[in-house]
Chains A and B, each alone.
Chain A
Amino acid sequence: GENVEQHPSTLSVQEGDSAVIKCTYSDSASNYFPWYKQELGKGPQLIIDIRSNVGEKKDQRIAVTLNKTAKHFSLHITETQPEDSAVYFCAPFHSGTYKYIFGTGTRLKVLA
């Protein structure tokens, strides 16, 4: 089955610095690539997504880049703020099986 890994598993940055989280997947048929943010005690919240026909998408301080050939996509957060502290999950989607496979998660801590 699909294997989805995230790196790093934990990440600490100073407020104002950038953070990058990488998601590597194994199923080349995946065609939709979302990132979710989960704060303590809450359900995951979609923060940005990208489809397989584009290489990059940006929304204010958040961006996602996709390399389909290498089978990885990355979350980029610039000018980090303490409220960015959370666990982030990637979840590549395969439209053939209609399933999301969640990555292992990355705990981001932004230090004030």
Chain B
Amino acid sequence: SAVISQKPSRDICQRGTSLTIQCQVDSQVTMMFWYRQQPGQSLTLIATANQGSEATYESGFVIDKFPISRPNLTFSTLTVSNMSPEDSSIYLCSVDGLSGRDTDTQYFGPGTRLTVL
């Protein structure tokens, strides 16, 4: 499996501010995804981060609120903009399509726990 790191691991932010979360993978991957997991809930896909082009967002998520960058095959960022307490969640980066390995097998980072006051 890949080694996936996220920064920060947790943060407490004031409403109205923005936070950028970084995801770094130790090998090149085809696909990178961002998920949200609200307290005690399952995972919901926010968007697919496409290398060299705009991210593909799921229903209910928009680029203005969750801008995503993916400058290369090992790195992506998710920004949570103009935060409100409802954005308090764990944000997870995941990857699949590891070089030389099965596709369709998805691996997750440790998550970023965000609390908005």
Contacts and interface: CB of A to CB of B under 8 A. Distances in A.
Interface residues of A, number: 21
Contacts, number: 43
A42 interface: yes
Contacts of A99: 45
B104 A102 contact: no
Looking at A43, A45, A99, which has the most chain B CB atoms within 10 Å of its CB? A43
Interface residues of B, number: 20
Interface string B20-63: 00000000000100000000011111001000000000000000
A46 B42 CA distance: 15
Nearest to B43: A102
B42 to A, nearest CB: 5
Looking at B92, B104, B109, B111, which has the most chain A CB atoms within 10 Å of its CB? B104
B104 A42 contact: no
B1 interface: yes
Contacts of B92: 43-44
Contacts of A49: 105
Nearest to B45: A99
B108 A32 contact: no
Contacts of A89: 42-43
Given A89-B43, A103-B42, A98 B31 contact: yes
B42 A102 contact: yes
Contacts of B105: 34, 46, 49
Given A32-B104, A93-B104, A42 B111 contact: yes
Contacts of A32: 104
A1 B113 CA distance: 28
Given A43-B92, A105-B42, A100 B111 contact: no
Interface of A: 32, 34, 36, 41-46, 49, 89, 91, 93, 95, 98-100, 102-105
